Structure 1
Amino acid sequence: MAERFYPVVGRKCTGDVYNRISIEDMQQNHPHQFTLFILSYAAIQGNHNPHTSAVVQDILPATTYMEIAGIHGKPYQEYAGDRKTPEQKVADYDPADPKDTLPVPSRFGGSHGSVSFTTWHRPYVMLVEQAIGDVADRLAEALEVNNPGEAGKWVQAAKELRFPYWDWAAPQVAEEGLPPVLIEDTVEILLPGGIAEVCPNPLSYYTYQGGIPPDFANEETRSGTAYFSTWPRTFRHSPSSENGSTDKEALQAAVKNASTGIRERLGLLFLYPDDHEDPARVYDEFSNSVNESREDLNADNRGSLEGIHGLIHGSVGGNGHMSSPDYAAFDPFFFLHHSSVDRILALWEWCYSDYWMGNGYYVGEGENRRLVAWTQERGTYAQVYNEQLEPSGDRGYLYPFRLENGEYWNSEQTRFLHDKAYPKYYSYDEFLGINVAEEASGPEARRKARRAIYRYYEAAATTDKKSWGLIPVRPAEEAGLPGLFKGISNFRMFVVVVRLPEHAFNRSYNFELRYNQGTESRFIGAAAVFARPDHSPCKACAKRRANGSIIRGVIPLPFSLVNDIVASSGNTPTLETTISDITKHLSGALVDTAGKVLATAQGGKDAPIVPSGQSASSDVVPAEVAMYTSAVAEKTDDTEHPVHLFDWQAHNALFPNGWRAVDQEAF
């Protein structure tokens, strides 16, 4: 069996836990690690520097970038690190075939839209971290043998090397966008003796090893074509050209634009209450953008980690690889992005250690209360339909990632990075006093951390007290909040909840929300759909498409914007007049990843009614775009306690007078 699989153990060979750090920190402050990382990442991509020529012959097929990236989507073929037996290699779905039934279920492909979105991607990043680390270890030893004066520098740097992240929620992103190390085609590294060398940058793009796979297919974006079948390398925001190129100006503009609202949305993820009666429901909403357990749309409106992650895919990809689930992992940026996603997961599970997917969620009350099992639409070109999903055992396996004993990783094993968890040999650098390599000392430490994280990401809530005087807030005690909680008088949080048909446009697309005042048009935020096209052999996607699956996003309105609208009102506002004033200044657009506007809508009941001949099809318009508000309570005796959102109210639909088709595809 050993020859048929490659175990994912992370950096176990180092025998210790070291931090993943940001790519900027690695480049600026850890030059030996950075050199090893660049050369090793290039090596598994098949780009061999003279310094790595002596070690590349030991790179296993399962650790090449082509094989690792192909796990997430195309090419739809068996991963070299997870060989099936001859009896399991039948390609077509057959319910009698062991390949397609438990305990060896069907193929894999990203685990999106489910509670296992977070857990599946954790061993995936560990795999590429392990592959790079193995090369770095051998390279470091060779460098020290050939340069005795450098003894102790390179081997230790290799031992500490972990896959870096790029923090897309950092404050500087709105002004700076991607750092040069992620977009320039060359990069400078430090060699023994303090020699600087410029080499090809493996973080900028990837050229396919062995040529373009035959099942790669072009994807239409209506403003052009992503020529995946002919592009020999990855691109970002490429013009519609068979030659392809990366439009760096468009890339940077999109990344800066996407950063608007990302921080506020990330802050909301740390405002889940810590006393929910059904922890699995909280984990469901946090983890993914489908929210299987959701019965009442007014239950919680804090958004999901997967939803935020999808915005980054589209903003970096544009008319390029990162925007398509089938091709995204071939862009080397993919793993820096998912390392950052995993970092947020690590912070969240540290703060909410009691919230977990469990074996399902509960519905009903009293005697009618029952457990509903999670289901998972698995697979790429074969799957088990509506398969029950559990966090451990044979129904919790995270294919194709195997352990040393030949079994597959399960979701339970992925939980936590502290020393009592299943070993992963990495952590993250300390953030706001939070060290995820250690368990929280108790509930108070977790609550303090949540408050600190929320304050870091969320803009301050400043209000004109007189203007907000008639905004109603239900008394905290009446809402059932614990003692010592007091609602902030006449203040509410405003969010827009968006529900989008996943396969409306046969590819990834965004809903964009804007505020308009006179000639000013201000981008507020977006909700992303990260979807495969109809021609993709992904059977899970086909099933969701047939069932009309819906992707959910939450866009918070900036406090400053709401305050300005309230304060500028001619009359002392009520909640109803405030909602009306806000809505009439909002507009929405459905936009593909190449930037093409497909349909638009104007907010408010007084907006012009879209004529029937210009209306977008009901198959493509959002299932819901509506305003929700929440009161906010603070604990009067503890300024470090997280604020509590309560008294959620659903208000009007933003676009009652219809969506106008801008492109033929929207009719």
Structure 2
Amino acid sequence: MDVKAFTDLPKVRTSRLYSRRWLPALLASVCMIVTLFALGKLMVANKVIRNERLMSLVDPLGIATTTPERFDAGTKVSSAENGKLHKMDKRQSQGPARYVSSGINWNGIRQRRNWNDFARDADLLNLFLCGLEAMQAKDQNNAESYFRIAGIHGAPYRSWNGQGGVNANTGYCPHASILFPTWHRPYLATIEQILGRTMRDLANRYPAGSVRTRYQQAANRFRLPYWDWASNAQLPALLGSQATVTVQKPQGFVTIPNPMVSYAFHPFSSSFFPFTPFNRWTRTLRQPDTNGNSRPAVVNQQLAANQVSLRNRVFNLLSYQRQFNIFSNKAWNGGNDGNQDSVESIHDLIHGLVGGEGHMAVVDTSAMDPIFWLHHCNV
């Protein structure tokens, strides 16, 4: 065959032949996928499929899955009572599975509020104090008790959720680690989850009518507030020195020890804290004297003396630091630069200024003080 004969051969339009051959198979595949997806949605919607992994396969976008109900006033708040457990709560109830930390997922997205704004919300503040008191009153062996939740962070060192701490002498909190800031996120979410559920249960116990409605609405607004020590480091009396508070409980108005100022162990054991003077103190203290008395005035003096430095350090850290491994923790990337600062270093200073020997000397007992939940929300 010469060149001319070769070039005169009719050209085969391969693209058209390819499309004619595969178009029916392609259309059939698309139809099958759409049919299976629609069938899966129908099965999920009618609760034919209950296994969460299968549900994620047939309904990956969660279109047919009911979203967590918003907690509205006038409705029962307890998911156990209304029979519509969120999937996290359902998994939680199927013991002996481990505790599922999901944070608050029953009232939509809520903005975290400054403590001063939070405290002006009278119903929310009242319910928060009642909820915190109830959490502190739980048996110290209860995994959801104030004692056990605070112990996740540091002393007294106890395993939680079936896992031992990072170190027998430090608890779970990863100090001097790049994980330091992010570790506190699920920790705070767990605190919010447990305290928020306690507040919801309390709201349902108020007398039916306008009072119950108010507190149900308040519970729906709850997120842990933050204490903005960078703008004003002085502790309000309710956080620092007010020994008692008057609150409205379901049974009426009562005066209780202020749960924001101190936590009393019940019972106390010297084994909780292996070093003196911690093994003698039966409650949490701030800047304690040698007799084990808190000194709130000293706390404010220390904070005032460091106010400008704290503000400047936060500004400089947020403005100029570009490396997260340095920004996040006090390991300082090998410690080569003495001028480097970190979120953890500033965080530690606040612990020391507020707690003094009562928080940061020898052992970390800081999470036993409720103000540091607010402090960690700010960090």
Which category describes the TM-score, using the shorter chain as reference length? Answer: 0.5 to 0.7
Distance across 2 between alignment mates of 1:142 and 1:215: 35
Distance 1:37 1:272, change over 3 A: same
Of residues 293, 296, 304, the one that matches 1:245 is: 293
Of residues 259, 278, 287, the one that matches 2:328 is: 287
Confirm or deny: 8 A CA contact 1:31 1:190 kept in the other structure: no
Comparing both structures, which one devotes a greater share of its residues to strand? 1
- Does residue 234 in structure 1 map to residue 284 in structure 2? yes
Confirm or deny: 8 A CA contact 2:288 2:358 kept in the other structure: yes
Task: Give CA deviations for 1:149-169 in whole Å, capped at 9, x if unaligned.
Answer: 325321121122111111111
Q: Which amino acid aligns with 2:210?
A: G
Written as runs of structure 1 = structure 2, the 5 A alignment for 1:31-70 is 31-46=122-137, 61-70=142-151
Of residues 119, 123, 131, the one that matches 2:194 is: 131
- Does residue 201 in structure 1 map to residue 280 in structure 2? no
Shift of 1:217: 2.6
User: 1:264 corresponds to which residue?
Assistant: 312
Distance 1:77 1:151, change over 3 A: closer
Question: Match of 1:264, SS?
Answer: helix
Confirm or deny: 8 A CA contact 2:226 2:374 kept in the other structure: yes
Distance 1:107 1:283, change over 3 A: same
Confirm or deny: 8 A CA contact 1:150 1:192 kept in the other structure: no
TM-score (norm 2): 0.68
Question: Match of 1:189, SS?
Answer: strand
Distance 1:330 1:310, change over 3 A: same
Distance across 2 between alignment mates of 1:9 and 1:128: 10
Distance across 2 between alignment mates of 1:209 and 1:169: 35
Task: Give CA deviations for 1:443-488 in whole Å, capped at 9, x if unaligned.
Answer: xxxxxxxxxxxxxxxxxxxxxxxxxxxxxxxxxxxxxxxxxxxxxx
User: 2:267 corresponds to which residue?
Assistant: 210
Confirm or deny: 8 A CA contact 1:166 1:337 kept in the other structure: yes
Written as runs of structure 1 = structure 2, the 5 A alignment for 1:584-599 is none
Confirm or deny: 8 A CA contact 1:186 1:201 kept in the other structure: yes
- Does residue 111 in structure 1 map to residue 174 in structure 2? yes
User: 1:8 corresponds to which residue?
Assistant: 101
User: 2:219 corresponds to which residue?
Assistant: 158
- Does residue 297 in structure 1 map to residue 354 in structure 2? no
Q: Which amino acid aligns with 1:201?
A: N
Q: Which amino acid aligns with 2:284?
A: T
Written as runs of structure 1 = structure 2, the 5 A alignment for 1:625-664 is none
Task: Give the percent of matched residue pairs that are identical in Structure 1 and Structure 2.
Answer: 32
Distance across 1 between alignment mates of 2:98 and 2:229: 34
Confirm or deny: 8 A CA contact 1:147 1:192 kept in the other structure: no
User: 1:182 corresponds to which residue?
Assistant: 239
User: 2:162 corresponds to which residue?
Assistant: 83
Shift of 1:200: 1.6
Distance across 1 between alignment mates of 2:263 and 2:212: 33
Distance across 2 between alignment mates of 1:271 and 1:35: 38
Distance 1:76 1:270, change over 3 A: closer
Distance 1:211 1:108, change over 3 A: closer
Aligned CA-pair RMSD? 3.0
Distance across 2 between alignment mates of 1:71 and 1:197: 31
Written as runs of structure 1 = structure 2, the 5 A alignment for 1:428-447 is none
Q: Which amino acid aligns with 2:106?
A: C
Written as runs of structure 1 = structure 2, the 5 A alignment for 1:364-443 is none
Distance across 1 between alignment mates of 2:200 and 2:310: 37
Of residues 338, 341, 349, the one that matches 2:376 is: 338
Distance across 1 between alignment mates of 2:155 and 2:171: 11
Confirm or deny: 8 A CA contact 1:284 1:291 kept in the other structure: yes
User: 1:255 corresponds to which residue?
Assistant: 303
Distance across 1 between alignment mates of 2:283 and 2:266: 10
Distance across 2 between alignment mates of 1:285 and 1:12: 33
Question: Match of 2:247, SS?
Answer: strand
Comparing both structures, which one devotes a greater share of its residues to helix? 2
Distance 1:305 1:138, change over 3 A: same
Q: Which amino acid aligns with 1:119?
A: T
Distance across 2 between alignment mates of 1:77 and 1:231: 19
User: 2:355 corresponds to which residue?
Assistant: 317
Distance across 2 between alignment mates of 1:217 and 1:335: 24
Question: Match of 1:187, SS?
Answer: strand
Written as runs of structure 1 = structure 2, the 5 A alignment for 1:483-498 is none
Q: Which amino acid aligns with 1:17?
A: I
Shift of 1:269: 1.8
Shift of 1:108: 4.5
User: 2:84 corresponds to which residue?
Assistant: none
Confirm or deny: 8 A CA contact 2:115 2:225 kept in the other structure: yes
Q: Which amino acid aligns with 1:291?
A: W
Shift of 1:22: 2.0
Confirm or deny: 8 A CA contact 2:328 2:342 kept in the other structure: yes
Task: Give CA deviations for 1:572-601 in whole Å, capped at 9, x if unaligned.
Answer: xxxxxxxxxxxxxxxxxxxxxxxxxxxxxx
Task: Give CA deviations for 1:607-627 in whole Å, capped at 9, x if unaligned.
Answer: xxxxxxxxxxxxxxxxxxxxx
Aligned residue pair count = 285
Shift of 1:293: 5.9
Shift of 1:72: 1.6
Q: Which amino acid aligns with 2:320?
A: Y
Question: Match of 2:111, SS?
Answer: strand
Distance 1:292 1:313, change over 3 A: same
Confirm or deny: 8 A CA contact 2:129 2:259 kept in the other structure: yes
Distance 1:288 1:160, change over 3 A: same
Distance across 2 between alignment mates of 1:110 and 1:324: 15
